[in-house]
Structure 1
Amino acid sequence: MSSSSFQLVFIFCFSILLLLIMPTSMQTVSAATTNKASAKTYKKFIKSACNSTTYPKVCYKALSPSASAIKTDTNKLCNIALSFTLNATYNASSSIDSLSKMKGLSPSEKEIIHDCAETTGEAIDELAKSLKTLANLQGSDHKADEINDLKTWVSAVLTDEYTCTDEFDGQKVSKAVKNTINKSVLYLAQLTSNCLALFRLLDY
């Protein structure tokens, strides 16, 4: 085969290869662009929803990592917000329980820790019950009543959380105990308050 013939064959083969590769490459770029646009849309949806809450920054930080799961679904948004709050309550409960193992606690500190552990446990029960109800909401024939139940239970959680810190009044409590409880309860109260606000967005 002459040199010129070889070049023609090479050019022909290379052209065919380009034709095969280009559509795939274009599809990949197109898919990446679409995914990026979708992610932006999902995060915009979450940001808009969080702006209706009392603590929008806390809300967005908690929910934005789950944007691809939430998409633009209000029910999923509330579900994940509630799940996140429940998980945070478990963590707070663990932190409060660890305080009971501290040495040198006064009788009043022991009582406060015990009561806070108890109210946190009640909060976990209320949130778990709320999460189950929310998960079954779409198939329910009594959506309005169940949403009211959700709000009642989550409001009770908020009351439980503040009851815990109210016990500090008039009591001599160490900085370590007070800071741990205050930090946990404040964060939970913000998450819980946000859940209540997000429930108003449920389209039922």
Structure 2
Amino acid sequence: MSTSMQTISAAATDKGRVTTYKKFIKSACNSTTYPKICYKALSPNAPAIETDPYKLCNVALSVTLNATYKASSTIVSLSKMKGLSSSEKQIIGLCAELSDYAIDDLQRSLKALANLQGSEYKAGEMSDLNTWVSGALTYEYTCTDELEGQKVRKVVNNTINKRVLYLAKLTSNCLALFKLLD
């Protein structure tokens, strides 16, 4: 077989594998509350995930953690807007603090997930994992709840809601994906 034929054959095999991996991700995401968001967030990582539920959950948590860092950064930049009212400053400050808490919980979750595989204490590790990710989700919703009924500028309201509600969807999807580990 010529070198160019080997290259074509290898590319076809790799493409077939990636297709299999993406089907696995799609199937797993169909068990979540937000399957389209799940698939869009995870499918670019198909070669790293393969068909491994642990890798899938690890990537889902990592994507969620990265999105939380970005949301936190956006919220902090909102605090630098000129002319913020005292209630806007308070809400932005609270959401920044809650984002930090969510980041801590998601980092703990990644460690618990790393300890889970091959652990003698799988039930305990799963409990910790679910507790911390649920905690992150609670922090996210607490932030958006603070906006309700408050007089804040549209840009503040929309920016926080857009970022944090997207995070909540990613976080919710993580909880659903953890069921693959049972």
**TM-score, normalising length from structure 2?**
0.96
Residue 26 of structure 1 deviates from its aligned partner by: 3.8
- Spell out the pairing of 1:47-196 with structure 2 (5 A cutoff): 47-196=26-175
Structure-2 separation of matches of 1:169 and 1:63: 31
- Seq. identity, %: 74
Residue 137 of structure 1 deviates from its aligned partner by: 1.5
- Counterpart residue identity of residue 70, structure 1: I
| Structure (1 or 2) with the larger CA radius of gyration | 1
Residue 193 of structure 1 deviates from its aligned partner by: 0.3
What residue number does 1:27 align with?
6
The CA RMSD measured in Å over matched residues stands at 1.1
Structure-2 separation of matches of 1:64 and 1:179: 27
Residue 171 of structure 1 deviates from its aligned partner by: 1.6
Does the aligned pair in 1 maintain the 2:42–2:60 contact within 8 Å? Answer: yes
Residue 25 of structure 1 deviates from its aligned partner by: 4.0
Structure-2 separation of matches of 1:177 and 1:54: 27
Residue 166 of structure 1 deviates from its aligned partner by: 1.0
What residue number does 1:15 align with?
none
Structure-1 separation of matches of 2:88 and 2:4: 65
Deviates more, 1:149-158 or 1:133-142: 133-142
Give the gaps of 5 or more residues in structure 1: 1-21
Does the aligned pair in 1 maintain the 2:115–2:125 contact within 8 Å? Answer: no
- Counterpart residue identity of residue 121, structure 1: D
Structure-2 separation of matches of 1:151 and 1:178: 29
Spell out structure 1 runs of 4+ moving beyond 6 A: none
Structure-2 separation of matches of 1:189 and 1:154: 10
The number of residues matched between the two structures is 182
- Counterpart residue identity of residue 127, structure 1: L
- Counterpart residue identity of residue 187, structure 1: Y
Structure-2 separation of matches of 1:167 and 1:28: 56
